[in-house]
A = this chain, B = another copy of it.
Amino acid sequence: MPRKLSALDPQRLDNQICFAVYSAAHAFNRVYKPLLDRLGLTYPQYLVMLVLWERDDVPVKDIGEKLFLDSGTLTPLLKRLEAAHLVRRTRSSEDERQVLISLTPQGHALKEKARAVPQSILAASDCSVSELVAMKDEIVALRDRLNAVIGE
């Protein structure tokens, strides 16, 4: 009978990388919360703003592809950003199916106020930049392998 096999038991919570990732995501969320509260954003809203700060006037679909989110998540989220006067939602005239998301002046201005956020996160990570970059690349590679098997 196994006695000290717990360190190898694949059915054990602490041996599962998925739980490590899951709980790390929540930990990030909790660290971000007070920083983003000051900006009036939730974390997913912050991600959308990051996308828009890189490229403005983007269809909902493109945002979804960048963030791996669908319209069921994005539509209400974008309506809240619109209600907060950070973005505008306009039907494309070329393709009436698309809704283009563009930044308002307030949305643009928020980028400056958000500049300190990544530094705060880096500090909370208590880790060198190079270590974080290496981890990030590994996690992204894992994510992409997982996403690859979704469509069989």
Contact = CB atoms under 8 A, between A and B. Distances in A.
Interface of A: 10-13, 15-28, 30-32, 43, 47, 50-51, 53-54, 66-68, 111, 114-115, 117-119, 121-122, 124-127, 132-133, 135-136, 138-140, 142-143, 145-150
**How many copies of the polypeptide does the oligomer hold?**
2
A120 to B, nearest CB: 10
A125 B105 CA distance: 43
A139 B20 contact: yes
Given A26-B68, A27-B142, A27-B143, 9 more contacts: A11-B115, A20-B135, A20-B136, A20-B139, A20-B143, A21-B139, A22-B43, A31-B149, A139-B139
Contacts of A111: 11
